[in-house]
Amino acid sequence: MKEKIDVFDYSVKFTKDVMKGFLLTTKANGKVNSMVIGWGTIGIQWGKPICIVYVRTSRYTHKLLEENPEFTVNIPIDRLGEDVFRICGSLSGKDMDKIKEANLTLVEGECVSVPAIKEAPITLECKVIYKQTQVVEDYAEDIRKKYYCNGEGKAEGQQAVHTAFYGEIVNAYMIK
């Protein structure tokens, strides 16, 4: 069952908990994929409720969003289970079915073609209405070094810059 919510009632939860890990779910060509995100902003642009998510251009999620510009943000009540965190946080959906592997339960979306996730039940359904890839030369030096250089122990993909996907929040609910 889905219980409608005013998404901004959850803005404190969103801003305080996003670093603990939410899921960002996408779907294209019949393939559903969830990745862990630790960043995001919420508010208003163009008079619309907006959730901005930041996805490296190297990610499988990026590819899916290019193919189908809709996503759900899936917020756990407390925090993601360890297995979910590990599988959706460090492996790529390119090579596997993360949903199955992490034992996630899909719940059909209402206003978007992308499903919600029962195990992370606070759901934002979003349609991408603007996107912009960030420019590495414009990052402050400490940010560039920390997040975009190929430092020791970082995979090559970690260098890719982020695209800001501006999702209009078209629907929000709690899965009961």
Site residues for a copy of itself per CB under 8 A: 8-9, 11-12, 14-16, 18-19, 38-47, 49-50, 52, 54, 129-132, 134-135, 138-140, 143, 146-147, 162, 164
Q: How far is the CB of 70 from a copy of itself (least distance, A)?
A: 14
Ramachandran bin of 75, using left for φ above 0, alpha for ψ from -120 to 50, beta for the remaining angles = beta
Q: How far is the CB of 6 from a copy of itself (least distance, A)?
A: 8
Shortest distance, position 15 Cβ to a copy of itself, whole Å: 4
Min CB(30)–a copy of itself separation in Å:
26
Cα–Cα distance measured from residue 113 to residue 71, given in angstroms and rounded to the nearest whole number: 8
Q: Which of 1, 41, 51, 3 is nearest to 19 (CA)?
A: 41
Of 101 and 168, which has the nearer Cβ to a copy of itself? Answer: 168
Nearest residue (CB) to a copy of itself, 41 versus 58: 41
Using CA atoms, how far apart are residues 78 and 12, in angstroms rounded to an integer? 14
Q: Do the Cβ atoms of 68 and 30 come closer than 8 Å?
A: no
Residue 64 C-beta: closest distance to a copy of itself, Å: 19
**CB closer to a copy of itself, 54 vs 85:** 54
How many CA atoms, within 13 angstroms, populate the side-chain half-sphere of residue 37? 31
C-beta closer to a copy of itself: residue 33 or 163? 163
Of 55, 119, 114, 49, the closest CA to residue 81 belongs to: 119
Residue closer to a copy of itself by CB (options 93, 167) is 167
